[in-house]
Amino acid sequence: MTQPVGIGGPRFNAISAVGQTGTTPGALAGQAMTTLANRVAGTVTRALGLAQGDRSPLQAGDAYGIEGVARDLAATLNAGPADAGRLSRALHDFTSEVASLVAASPTSDVLDRLSGLGNAPLDPDGRPGMSDSDKVIATIDSALFQLREDPTRVGR
């Protein structure tokens, strides 16, 4: 049986496993995804009344601060405008998927899935000539693929 999310509990803290410390492209992607996953989980579960804390409604626009995270990541990677836009879109897609998962099923199982992203290698080998921005986007795309997998499918 799945239990409602306890934001102050150990399940919420497990989300931090998504991120890594360091300055490799994979670690930077993990840090950005951790920040956004934590914001989504906290905001949505508070809005649904499943956790203590401020229950202010979600605001239109950039409710989770995705653009700020994308700007910081692009600056760290010295990304040009085109790559900055690609990073922003990738983080928006990731955040949208996390928000959908948490809103659809605000249980500890969902937080386990988010924390399980840390078990996958976050640094793709990459093809020759792949920029750090390309590697970060590949890492985010890999995390999206994992989140979109059906957890109930046979063989898992």
Predicted confidence band of residue 152 (pLDDT cuts 50, 70, 90): low
**What average pLDDT is seen over the chain?**
74
- Beta-carbon contacts of residue 82 (< 8 Å; ≥ 6 apart): none
pLDDT tens-digit map of 129-146: 889 999 999 989 988 888
Per mean pLDDT, which of 1-10, 62-71, 120-129 is the most reliable? 62-71
pLDDT tens-digit map of 82-141: 999 999 999 999 999 998 888 887 777 777 777 766 555 555 566 778 899 999 999 899
Domain edges within the chain: 10-148
CA distance 110 to 115: 9
Helical ranges in the chain per DSSP H: 10-13, 25-47, 66-76, 81-104, 108-116, 132-148
CA angle 110, 27, 71 (to 5 degrees): 90
